[in-house]
Amino acid sequence: MFKNLLTELRENILIITINRPEKLNALNGEILKELSDAFADAKVREEIQVVIITGAGEKAFVAGADINELNKLNPIKAKEFAEFGQKVFAQISDLSKPVIAAVNGFALGGGCELAMACHIRLVSENAKFGQPEVNLGVIPGYGGTQRLPKLIGLGRAMELILSGDLIDANEAYKIGLANKVYPLAELIEKTIELSKKILSKSRIAVSLSINAINASSNLSEAEGMKFEAANFALATSTEDFKEGTTAFLEKRKAQFKGE
């Protein structure tokens, strides 16, 4: 189906592998279009309830943008290039199904931005993060200047983007860019383990939680509280709510049906 992506559906978990290891899985326009199509498909397919993104090989998640493609840009094309990448990554961050990045090596430039567009980031011990665009005389264009400060704070984001420095997995975990760090051989297994834990919860509650958390970036605190209350109320109208609260009172495991 795709030239540069491998897809595998394990039960309700879609694993998307960016498969361009000879270029350290560097992003180009073709890969971005395929990611857009893959996430449009994941949005509407009922059987897909969690998405995992990783990179082929043991060296890189995504090592950045394709420099050959980047080098040919003029200002008009560059704006289109950035806006398209931002649109694709917004598809990922706005998906009301959990998206987990399994970062298995270099996550640089567009790769770091792709990881940040995911809801959760589990990383291997050999992972390295960075926004080294200033070394190329350009700035992050796929949301790095917007997402990184929200994740790690303004000062740290300024330092990483302005210096172009790379950080290792432990530093990424320490500053909040990575959720967990695992040996490379365990990364996918641990990511699937977390996916299955999420799948055991109410599908509706998970979806509403993602929407409410995402809204916090665009709304004032007062508006966000109203949005949260509305989604809380919506959750209580579901059969999952009745099942979850009844199961708790009856001291048994809830059996959610996504209804």
DSSP 148-177: HHHHH-HHHHHHHHHH--EEEHHHHHHHTS
* 251 in Cβ contact with 131 (< 8 Å): no
104 three-class SS: coil
Given the residues 113, 159, 171, 193, select the one marked as catalytic. Answer: 113
Q: 117 burial class (0-12, 13-18, 19+ CB within 10 angstroms)?
A: buried
Is 133 a catalytic site residue? yes
SS3 assignment, position 2: coil
For residue 182, which of 120, 104, 125 has the smallest C-alpha distance?
125
Q: Which of 118, 28, 116, 19 is nearest to 65 (CA)?
A: 28
Partnered with residue 99 across adjacent β-strands are 51
Distance (Å, whole) CA 107 – CA 42: 23
**Is there a catalytic annotation at residue 113?**
yes
Q: Which residue, 48, 44, 37, is CA-closest to 15?
A: 48
Query: CB within 8 A of 145, min separation 6: which ones?
Result: 139, 157, 161
Marked catalytic residue, from 11, 34, 83, 133: 133
Catalytic site positions = 113, 133
